């Protein structure tokens, strides 16, 4: 085990939050890889029945020692970081609903005592407890959902306001491999929502749940985390809401970021009847592609035998920002459109960074990280980190001499989901081996985790509305993947105009995975989706804010629906939104 596998410094406050039929070694040949994946026939049908895909039933066994026990010590820091991350982004999302929405059922009151909800009958569900929470006076219900005969246990938490229920249900998402937490209910319940969250079948943020005690893939646990647990929470939450108030919620909403954003889009794709409106922040869609790609910076440094220190990575990012900052006509420390920035780090070669010198080898590592994963023949695999984005989160290093320090979530993906070996040594991974495992991830988990289906016909036809937003300086999930999905959504759903009738994407320049940075943080997105659903008013703009350390607003900027951008009028303060207009980007 590599004791250095912990979250890189500086990302614990960001959201990750808070989500192989046979083992394929890093040196596996393409022929061997292809042979292991022939068993995928019938994969999708089996998943919808809650069964293990055919491949998983014949998986090879590893030693019987429980991987969870063996990895507990190493993964505890990762779990803690994910918890902190989920709280952080819950706060970010919370800004979008500062004012409680107008109640839909005036003077509604519970029709039964909270404690009596333990008697409610819901298929395959045990009501573990129902009691008044003394901290806020709400009714808190804990349930366990199973999918016989698998023996899984999906924990669901529901919060119900005893007073001032607003007539709506809100589902909350999680981060990383963590399905969600009971703590996320407090804010929505205080605003009058009946609200739900779930652990999606396992505790904590480790990916070790993917393997059973015999080292085989636990497909029911994987499916619970990928999509079924959130649906279970929604079904249970709505049933308990109706039992408590004697009325079903008139509207239901889902709010989540990162894995929570993926969970929301998965609901729209698989269970479009669950929610009327969805807010999806920095969504971890294309999971089967971007997550293995998150290990690419480490693969690059191992292959180059050059672990680049944080100071040099930061110098490259700062140089890129300096070179491309003013391309939008405003010099504000933000690259407004990273796709137009072609800065080459060769300009730094020979310059001093602290007591060290930036070398051509350093420049090549940075280039390959920006370019993104490529096959040995140069073929495109996935998007890289954009220029202007912090690189150390995925290209972390530690020690003396420097060694790599991978981000824990993609490392878990390789160890537990792909190699099926908790002891798998990431330092042995070559670019060729990376391509094989990346393709395995795409082939094996695309249907389960991918969340990249652009056909939202059923969601649209029942009146569903969707707001997606993503920071263009996201250091964990490149926004290019979300842009790619939205473009495919437009193509599938009849073009840009037709898609904008029910789904809109907003991009925020200069902010990271936690929507922090020199750029504007989006606000008002939850109110916007509520207005869209209930009043038919589509959001033509989100207001972005910059705040100082005392939380005082020091700048505003409009964020327009993709592909439009905010263009400076040429006069007035660049810290005031009124001095910007919507414009199509120039290429």
Write out the catalytic residue numbers.
Answer: 258, 474, 513
Q: Classify 554 as helix, strand or coil.
A: strand
DSSP H helix total and E strand total for the chain: 18, 18
Max distance between CA atoms of the chain, in angstroms, equals 74
Rounded Cα–Cα distance for residues 324 and 296 (Å): 25
Rounded Cα–Cα distance for residues 211 and 366 (Å): 35
Preceding amide of 149 cis, omega within 30: yes
Rounded Cα–Cα distance for residues 327 and 342 (Å): 11
Rounded Cα–Cα distance for residues 559 and 334 (Å): 14
Sort residue 204 into left (φ over 0), alpha (ψ -120 to 50) or beta: left
Q: CA angle 344-347-351, nearest 5°?
A: 140
Half-sphere exposure of 294 (CA within 13 A, CB side): 31
Measuring CA to CA, how many Å separate 205 from each of 16, 176, 399, 520? 10, 7, 25, 29
Q: What is the dihedral sign for C-alpha 220, 222, 225, 230?
A: negative
Rounded Cα–Cα distance for residues 379 and 552 (Å): 47
Rounded Cα–Cα distance for residues 105 and 165 (Å): 8
Query: Are 280 and 362 a contacting pair, CB within 8 Å?
Result: no
The H-or-E segment that residue 128 falls in is strand 125-132
Rounded Cα–Cα distance for residues 248 and 155 (Å): 22
């Amino acid at each position: 085990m590599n004791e250095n596998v912990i979250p890189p410094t500086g990302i614990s406050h960001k959201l990750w939050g808070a989500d192989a039929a046979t083992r394929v070694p890093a040196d596996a040949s393409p022929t061997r890889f292809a042979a292991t994946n022939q068993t995928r026939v019938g994969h999708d049908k089996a998943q919808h029945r809650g069964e293990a895909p055919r491949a998983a039933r014949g998986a090879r066994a590893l030693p019987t020692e429980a991987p969870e026990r063996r990895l507990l010590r190493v993964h505890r820091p990762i779990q803690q970081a994910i918890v902190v991350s989920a709280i952080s982004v819950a706060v970010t999302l919370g800004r979008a609903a500062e004012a409680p929405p107008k109640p839909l059922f005036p003077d509604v009151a519970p029709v039964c005592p909270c404690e009596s909800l333990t008697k409610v009958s819901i298929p395959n569900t045990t009501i573990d407890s129902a009691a008044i929470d003394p901290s806020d006076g709400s009714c808190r219900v804990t349930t366990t959902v199973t999918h016989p005969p698998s023996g899984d246990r999906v924990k669901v938490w529901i919060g119900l306001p005893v007073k001032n229920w607003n007539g709506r249900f809100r589902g909350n998402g999680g981060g990383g491999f963590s399905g969600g937490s009971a703590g996320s209910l407090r804010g929505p319940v205080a605003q009058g929502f009946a609200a739900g969250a779930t652990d999606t079948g396992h505790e904590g943020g480790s990916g070790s749940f993917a393997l059973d005690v015999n080292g085989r893939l636990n497909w029911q646990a994987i499916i619970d985390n990928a999509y079924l647990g959130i649906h279970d929470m929604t079904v249970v939450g709505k049933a308990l809401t109706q039992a408590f108030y004697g009325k079903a919620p008139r509207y239901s909403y889902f709010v989540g970021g990162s894995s929570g954003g993926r969970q929301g889009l998965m609901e729209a794709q698989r269970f479009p009847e669950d929610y009327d409106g969805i807010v999806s922040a920095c969504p971890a869609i294309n999971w089967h592609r971007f997550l293995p790609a998150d290990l690419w910076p480490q693969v690059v440094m191992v292959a180059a035998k050059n672990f680049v220190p944080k100071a040099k990575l930061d110098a490259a990012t700062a140089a890129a920002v300096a070179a491309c900052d003013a391309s939008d006509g405003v010099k504000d420390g933000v690259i407004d459109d990273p796709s137009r920035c072609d800065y080459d780090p060769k300009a730094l070669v020979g310059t001093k960074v602290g007591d060290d010198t930036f070398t051509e080898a350093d420049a090549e590592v940075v280039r390959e990280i920006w370019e993104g994963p490529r096959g040995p023949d140069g073929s495109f695999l996935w998007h890289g980190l954009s220029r202007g984005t912090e690189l150390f989160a995925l290209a972390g290093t530690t020690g003396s001499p420097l060694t790599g320090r991978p981000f824990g979530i993609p490392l878990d993906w390789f160890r537990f989901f792909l190699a099926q070996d908790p002891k798998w040594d990431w330092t042995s991974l070559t670019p060729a081996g990376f391509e094989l495992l990346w393709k395995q991830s795409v082939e094996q988990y695309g249907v389960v985790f991918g969340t990249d289906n652009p056909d939202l016909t059923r969601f649209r036809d029942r009146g569903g509305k969707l707001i997606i937003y993503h920071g263009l300086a996201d250091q964990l999930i490149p926004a290019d993947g979300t842009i790619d999905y939205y473009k495919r959504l437009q193509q599938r759903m009849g073009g840009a105009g037709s898609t904008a009738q029910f789904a809109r994407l907003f991009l925020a320049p200069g902010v990271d995975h936690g929507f922090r940075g020199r750029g504007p943080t989006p606000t008002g997105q939850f109110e916007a989706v509520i207005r869209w659903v209930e009043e038919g008013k589509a959001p033509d703009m989100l207001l972005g804010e910059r705040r100082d350390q005392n939380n005082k607003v020091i700048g505003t900027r409009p964020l327009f629906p993709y592909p439009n951008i905010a263009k400076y009028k040429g006069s007035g303060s660049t810290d005031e939104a009124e001095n910007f207009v919507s414009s199509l980007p120039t290429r």
